[in-house]
Amino acid sequence: MSSQNLSVTPDLNTQDAERVLGTSGSLGAGYEGLHLPVAVLLDNVRSMYNVGAFFRAADGVGLQKLCLCGITAHPPKNAISKTALGAEKTVVWEHDWDAIKMAERLHSSGFEIVAIETSAESVDLFEWQPKFPLCVAFGNEVEGLRPELLEMAATHVRIPMLGQKNSLNVATAGGVVLYELLRKYRVLTIHP
């Protein structure tokens, strides 16, 4: 049996596209002027495709800054660009070999450090009440966050996992967390 790429979504004409995008014609309608006061710290993330996916999500939520630490690759790299699709040019980023120093600088600038990690102290992502500005830290795809970063974190947050696996791909986890933060921050700014 041969494999075919069958599209079940018809091509959108201009009228349909305007309906999907809403009256403002923007996918960011209702979020105008919103800037998410969140930084992401990636410590020793091995896959450049994961890094590229973080750039895409960071651009999507209006992230303040992406902090790339240790062996985490940084632009310009073709594998990052392949997944980021240009977001590596729109998102503010910084690289430092020392994640601890980066976290200390962020903390001294007023960011609360938050570890995205399943641990005994972790709170559920959807029950968590974040304090902005904050920096969410994600660790290596295999080993997670190193103990020093876990100790620095004021809060540990876990993503609910209902299946047999205990974790998500780091970039997928990043997307889930960032969009939940955007949702919570928007609620705070609309209903202070």
Those residues with Cβ within 8 angstroms of residue 52's Cβ, 6 or more apart along the chain or in another chain: 79, 80, 81, 82, 83, 84, 85, 87, 88
| Cα separations in angstroms, 125 against 8, 37, 60, 118 | 33, 17, 19, 11
Please compute the mean of the pLDDT values over residues 170-184 and round it to a whole number: 97
For 93-136, write each residue's pLDDT tens digit: 999 999 999 999 999 999 999 999 988 889 999 999 999 999 99
* Most confident of the following: 2-6, 40-44, 139-143: 40-44
Q: Cβ neighbours of residue 163 under 8 Å, at least 6 residues apart?
A: none
How far does CA 97 lie from the centroid of its chain?
A: 20
The predicted model scores a pTM of 0.84
Average pLDDT estimate for 174-183 = 98
Please tell me the predicted confidence (pLDDT) of residue 150: 96
Q: How many alpha carbons fall within 13 Å on the CB side of residue 66?
A: 31
Each residue's pLDDT tens digit, 28-60: 887 887 889 999 999 999 999 999 999 999 999
C-alpha 186, offset from chain centre: 16
Q: How far apart are CA 130 and CA 192, in angstroms?
A: 14
Mean pLDDT rounded to a whole number for the chain: 88
* Measured CA angle at 160 (ends 156, 164), to 5 deg: 120
